């Protein structure tokens, strides 16, 4: 084979080879909100553009109120995985656990729309055993939905006691330290952790050693996410995806792919399949 032919075949290979560079990593963003105060300045089509330009292959979206999520689903059903947030507005964040009107709200939405999860909701300690939260756990079980819970380890334990078969996505990995996250993952095989809004696991192109150990021990249990908890956060979706690709590149490629998107796809695969039936 001549040099020219060698070069030609190498060039052809480069054209057909699957993308392996970290810069091309698709991202499953497990923590997107499209709440009422974001709608005016960022209409659904523009929000979808932001996600697509960022290389987001799928986004778990929940909104205060749920209408925001429905608008995104309508605009891009292939991209948006809808999660039912028990908040009709931002004001419900801290009161929903004691607000009995949340229950009919959830039941009504579940009857009218399809979801893959209930959450993200905030719950701490003994509040997780209040009747409204118990009903949310029951509804998730009845509808085969993941629970996306932002809370402490005590609350997560209580949710699992109510339904040992629950699948829980622990928002922000509980904002707790790697040793505590490890203990929870070891104890609960149906617990996944999102890494939204924290930079201690990875940042600046590097993964912290204790988190590297955790990712290596539990390669199937971590997901990344932006957390657009205020409208301004939408400006960082692209930046967040690039930043995440940066530190994920510090991991072995197969592990980086799992955390970037494959774990999200796997977690919701059964729910997605059920939605298509
Ligand atoms: Zn959030």
Report how far residue 28's alpha carbon sits from residue 18's, in angstroms, rounded to the nearest whole number. Answer: 18
> From ligand 1's centre to the CA of 120, what distance in Å?
6
Phi, psi of 52 (to 5 degrees): -65, -40
Q: In the sheet where 56-62 sits, what is the strand order?
A: 27-33, 56-62, 80-84, 117-123, 146-151, 168-170, 191-194, 222-223
Q: How confident is the model at residue 61 (pLDDT cuts 50, 70, 90)?
A: very high
> From ligand 1's centre to the CA of 195, what distance in Å?
11
SS3 readout for 205-224: CEECHHHHHHHHHCCCCEEE
> From ligand 1's centre to the CA of 150, what distance in Å?
8
Task: Give the environment of ion ligand 1: residues with CB less than 5 A.
Answer: 120, 227, 229
> From ligand 1's centre to the CA of 89, what distance in Å?
13
Report how far residue 214's alpha carbon sits from residue 221's, in angstroms, rounded to the nearest whole number. Answer: 10
> From ligand 1's centre to the CA of 131, what distance in Å?
23
Do the Cβ atoms of 268 and 145 come closer than 8 Å?
Answer: no
Q: Is pLDDT above 70 for 1?
A: no
> From ligand 1's centre to the CA of 33, what distance in Å?
7
Mind listing the pLDDT tens digit for each residue in 250-274? 999 999 999 999 999 999 998 777 6
- Which of 238, 236, 239, 232 is closest to 37 using CA atoms? 232
Q: How confident is the model at residue 275 (pLDDT cuts 50, 70, 90)?
A: low
> From ligand 1's centre to the CA of 61, what distance in Å?
10
pLDDT at 16: 41
> From ligand 1's centre to the CA of 9, what distance in Å?
48
> From ligand 1's centre to the CA of 225, what distance in Å?
9
> From ligand 1's centre to the CA of 19, what distance in Å?
31
The pTM for the full model equals 0.91
Report how far residue 83's alpha carbon sits from residue 239's, in angstroms, rounded to the nearest whole number. Answer: 24
> From ligand 1's centre to the CA of 250, what distance in Å?
26
pLDDT at 276: 64
What number is the average pLDDT over the span 201-215?
96
> From ligand 1's centre to the CA of 230, what distance in Å?
9
51-54 CB contacts, 8 Å cutoff, 24+ apart: 51/76, 51/79, 51/237, 52/76, 52/79, 53/238, 54/27, 54/29, 54/237, 54/238, 54/240, 54/241, 54/242
Q: What is the dihedral of CA 145, 149, 50, 34, to 10 degrees?
A: 90
């Amino acid at each position: 084979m001549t040099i020219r032919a060698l070069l030609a075949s190498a060039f052809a290979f480069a054209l057909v080879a699957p993308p392996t560079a970290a810069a091309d990593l698709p991202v499953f963003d497990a923590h997107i909100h499209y709440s009422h105060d974001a709608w005016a300045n960022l209409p659904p089509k523009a929000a979808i553009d932001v996600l697509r330009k960022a290389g987001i292959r799928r986004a778990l979206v929940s909104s205060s109120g749920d209408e925001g999520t429905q608008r995104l689903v309508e605009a891009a059903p292939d991209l948006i995985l809808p999660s039912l947030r028990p908040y009709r507005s931002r004001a419900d964040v801290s009161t929903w656990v004691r607000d009995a009107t949340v229950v009919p709200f959830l039941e009504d939405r579940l009857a009218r729309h399809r979801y893959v999860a209930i959450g993200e909701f905030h719950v701490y300690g003994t509040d997780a055993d209040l009747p409204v939260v118990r009903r949310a756990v029951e509804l998730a079980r009845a509808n085969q939905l993941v629970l996306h819970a932002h809370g402490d380890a005590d609350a997560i334990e209580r949710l699992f006691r109510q339904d040992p078969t629950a699948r829980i996505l622990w928002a922000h990995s509980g904002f707790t330290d790697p040793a505590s996250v490890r203990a929870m993952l070891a104890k609960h095989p149906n617990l996944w952790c999102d890494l939204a809004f924290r930079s201690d696991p990875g940042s600046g192109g590097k993964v912290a050693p204790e988190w590297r150990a955790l990712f290596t021990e539990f390669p199937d249990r971590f997901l990344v996410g932006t957390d657009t908890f205020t409208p301004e956060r939408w400006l960082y979706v692209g930046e967040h995806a690039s930043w995440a690709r940066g530190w994920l590149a510090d991991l072995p490629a197969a592990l980086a792919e799992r955390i970037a998107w494959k774990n999200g796809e796997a977690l919701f695969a059964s729910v997605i399949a059920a939605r298509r039936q």
